[in-house]
Amino acid sequence: MRSGARLCLLALSCFLLLAASSDTEQPLHGYSAASSRAQREWETKFRAIPEPQNQRDYMQRLSARPHHVGSPYDKDNAEWMLAKFKEWGLEANIETFDVLFPTPKVRLVELLEPTKFTAKLQEPALPVDPTSNQQAEQLPTYNAYSADGDVTAPLVYVNYGTPDDYEQLARIGVSVKGAIAIARYGNSWRGIKPKVAAEHGAVGCLIYSDPADDGYTQGDVFPTGAWRPRDGVQRGSVMDMPLYPGDPLTPGVGATKDAKRLDLKDVKTITKIPVLPISYADAQPLLAALKGEVVPDAWRGSLPQTYHVGPGPAKVHLKVQSNWDIKPLYDVIVKIPGSTNPDEWVVRGNHHDAWVNGAEDPISGTVALMEEARGFATLLKQGWKPKRTIIYCVWDGEEPALLGSTEWGEAHADELRRHAVAYINSDGNGRGYLSMGGSHSLEKFINGVARDIQDPEKKIPVWKRDQLKAIADAKTPEERKEARDRADLRINALGSGSDWTVFLDHLGIASLDLAYGDEDGGGIYHSIYDDFYWYTHFSDTDFSYGRALSQTAGTAVMRLADADLLPYDFTGLADTIHSYLDELQKLLKTKQDDAIERNKELEEGVFTAIADPKRTSVPPPAEEVPPHLNFAPLQNASDALTHSAERYQKALEKVSSDGQLRVGPAELQALNQKLMQSERKLTSPEGLPRRPWFEHLMYAPGAYTGYGVKTIPGVREAIEQKKWKEADEQIARAASALQDEAALIDSAAQDLENGK
Ligand SMILES: [Zn+2]
């Protein structure tokens, strides 16, 4: 940061302190002035409780040994946490499920031609790192839910292995048909790489970490620095989770003892081809043995060699075999019963299983959650009585396939649909800025929480720091203006990749995902080096951001649990839906323009004229120009939502104008019940095309991006996949869900208008 900017920041923060003190007079959203004052007192008491030293101690204990699904220490950790919660006086139990979890039996990668090389597939222990030598308990490097297979084939380099990369490959006349594809990590979720490779005819897939994305180009490597060393390997699941997450054998239902299970051969979420992850040390000889065209500029990694596409002459033998065993899951569930609204549940979770020792992922989040629970236990002893029921969940089996949360969510689906107010997730933590993702009906709410949390480094509200970052990062004057002037910071829509998935995407429960980070880069993700030594040397070393996460998530839980009126806001939602609709229209227009332009260039002979005759160059195929789509139903629905949201907002302002909340207790109860269904209205039991498990019609992980979110996914993916009839049908479905949402909000507004 420039020194001038620092001065401004100082002046600003003084101004903010003044602003903040008068702000506290404003009742919290959904509270009367009196209940808001009482609430703020409890929240202040709460935020003083979480202790960095405790988080450090818990982390040292929980990450002391490898604790993946089915390992002895996984169960041991669950029992230790259970005992802690009970020791603090909380009601807690362990819920178990039985799920399919493959572990490696045979792993082999060897280069047969033109030279011989056998990949190590092993991360070495480091003398300075005391837990890195627990080899007997470590899960070897592998990709869970890879198909078994034994293939020998020429190698082809496919960059990140996204659909676009295969289009580029076709332009240089290369196919992966019958080949083994080698893709680098990054740019898409790892499970997409073998999926797309198989769709293009590859018989096997290797995924490696290129130092350009994850290694020495980024910074000094571990143990000197935080970044991935040459033998470090990213483990991870390659299950087709965009189809459905959770136990592959029990889609849609909890994997209880007597659940009906699919035959392994009928499972659709296991990869079609064998796949293994490798280090850049193991990848280098394979890539160096490739010939053929030199790769396009953007495909170059930073290994010290020229990158070629292949195919061959490198010929690779890949063999993968797993033990396809059923393993137990241990979800630790803590319940604090609500005093006046026990049938309204606020659910909070973070997982506890890891690929290996997992200090950052997930324990840095787990320990923050534990300190929240201890904080609540303390407040309960002091007389705090949350109105609503609070449920704290420490999930098992997140890493392989969101197993623990998905099976629990499916097993309790009916109750959750009736009772859940919101789900608040975290999955690890670090040093830096607060990242907020989630349902836009909670955008205003979580912005309000972030205004009340102090950044441990800068001593300004974390909200303010996020806002100033948004100003600094803005790419256009419009973005900068919005960052300065919009009442709330926009929150990210959620795709997949952590435990909110079943709550938001399957059950339609308004969800949030919270974490601090961005100042703590690192390259130990899913390796044996993600451990206590690494975390306490390179991440949130004093656990001050761990405390901030406890304060943030804990305050959010309390504020939701104690509100008189549930603090959803629909104006932010309506504004966001409008922006998604604009994006969809732009997307179609761009596709039309691009197709017209490409066809014209084909006619003009551009591609053949500019191709270097000494290199292979294939003109792209002619494109069908996308037809116009009828967005009118979505535009009307989006307008209806805006009107209802504004009407609700006005009605709420009117009943709460003088610090009172003039709604009778019975009416309030009924209104909360109604509002709780607002996120549910955005779902449809038929779900998305070809993946009915995903019921939310506004947010979903992309079928070809994995973690990456697709908003209004039915429509967006139909356009991307050129399914024009389906696009029109999906517009109608999304519109009808938004109309239902608008009707519910209207009816809530009417209740407020009549309720005084
Ligand atoms: Zn995680």
pLDDT for 25? 67
Find the 51 Cα to ligand 1 centroid distance in Å. Answer: 22
DSSP for 539-578, please give it: SSTT-HHHHHHHHHHHHHHHHHHH-SS----SHHHHHHHH
Find the 186 Cα to ligand 1 centroid distance in Å. Answer: 17
Find the 362 Cα to ligand 1 centroid distance in Å. Answer: 5
pLDDT for 342? 97
pLDDT for 495? 87
Mean pLDDT over residues 635-664, rounded? 94
Rounded distance, CA 683 to CA 736, Å? 10
Tokens of 503: 């709550």
| 10 pLDDT higher than 80 | no
Find the 361 Cα to ligand 1 centroid distance in Å. Answer: 5
How high does pLDDT run on average in the chain?
95
Find the 9 Cα to ligand 1 centroid distance in Å. Answer: 34
pLDDT for 670? 95
Long-range contacts of 292-299 (CB under 8 A, 24+ apart): 292/174, 293/172, 293/174, 293/615, 293/616, 295/157, 295/159, 296/168, 296/172, 298/159, 299/157, 299/159, 299/165, 299/168
Rounded distance, CA 82 to CA 61, Å? 14
pLDDT for 506? 98
140-166 pLDDT, tens digit each = 999 999 999 999 999 999 999 999 999
| 8 pLDDT higher than 70 | no
Tokens of 580: 């998604």
| 13 pLDDT higher than 60 | no
| 9 pLDDT higher than 60 | no
Find the 707 Cα to ligand 1 centroid distance in Å. Answer: 13
Name the residues around ion ligand 1, CB cutoff 5 A: 361-362, 427
| 642 pLDDT higher than 50 | yes
Contact 309, 287 (CB under 8 A): no
Find the 366 Cα to ligand 1 centroid distance in Å. Answer: 10
Q: What is the chain's length?
A: 756
Find the 639 Cα to ligand 1 centroid distance in Å. Answer: 38
Find the 624 Cα to ligand 1 centroid distance in Å. Answer: 42
Predicted confidence band of residue 704 (pLDDT cuts 50, 70, 90)? confident
Find the 397 Cα to ligand 1 centroid distance in Å. Answer: 10
Mean pLDDT over residues 209-224, rounded? 96
Contact 405, 398 (CB under 8 A): yes
Its pTM stands at: 0.95
Rounded distance, CA 251 to CA 292, Å? 44
Rounded distance, CA 126 to CA 528, Å? 10
| 707 pLDDT higher than 90 | no
Find the 438 Cα to ligand 1 centroid distance in Å. Answer: 17
476-497 pLDDT, tens digit each = 999 999 999 999 999 999 988 8
Closest of 576, 453, 577 to residue 514, by C-alpha: 453
pLDDT for 521? 78
Find the 212 Cα to ligand 1 centroid distance in Å. Answer: 23
pLDDT for 17? 41
Find the 427 Cα to ligand 1 centroid distance in Å. Answer: 5
How far the first Cα of the chain sits from its last, in Å, is 52
Closest of 492, 617, 500, 512 to residue 554, by C-alpha: 512
Find the 260 Cα to ligand 1 centroid distance in Å. Answer: 28
Find the 576 Cα to ligand 1 centroid distance in Å. Answer: 28
Mean pLDDT over residues 5-33, rounded? 55
Find the 690 Cα to ligand 1 centroid distance in Å. Answer: 27
Rounded distance, CA 406 to CA 396, Å? 10
Find the 405 Cα to ligand 1 centroid distance in Å. Answer: 12
Crossing angle for the helix pair 462-473 and 477-485, to the nearest 10 degrees? 160
| 5 pLDDT higher than 50 | no
Find the 525 Cα to ligand 1 centroid distance in Å. Answer: 9
710 beta partners: 700
Amino acid present at 322: S
Find the 365 Cα to ligand 1 centroid distance in Å. Answer: 9
pLDDT for 23? 47
Find the 146 Cα to ligand 1 centroid distance in Å. Answer: 20
Find the 433 Cα to ligand 1 centroid distance in Å. Answer: 18
Contact 747, 673 (CB under 8 A): no
Find the 355 Cα to ligand 1 centroid distance in Å. Answer: 9
Closest of 567, 444, 498, 503 to residue 696, by C-alpha: 503
534-552 pLDDT, tens digit each = 999 999 999 999 999 999 9
- The single-letter DSSP state of residue 104 is E
Mean pLDDT over residues 294-299, rounded? 96
Find the 401 Cα to ligand 1 centroid distance in Å. Answer: 11
Find the 301 Cα to ligand 1 centroid distance in Å. Answer: 27
| 15 pLDDT higher than 80 | no
Find the 551 Cα to ligand 1 centroid distance in Å. Answer: 20
93-137 pLDDT, tens digit each = 999 999 999 999 999 999 999 999 999 999 999 999 999 999 999
433 beta partners: 517
Find the 479 Cα to ligand 1 centroid distance in Å. Answer: 31
Find the 530 Cα to ligand 1 centroid distance in Å. Answer: 12
Find the 139 Cα to ligand 1 centroid distance in Å. Answer: 16
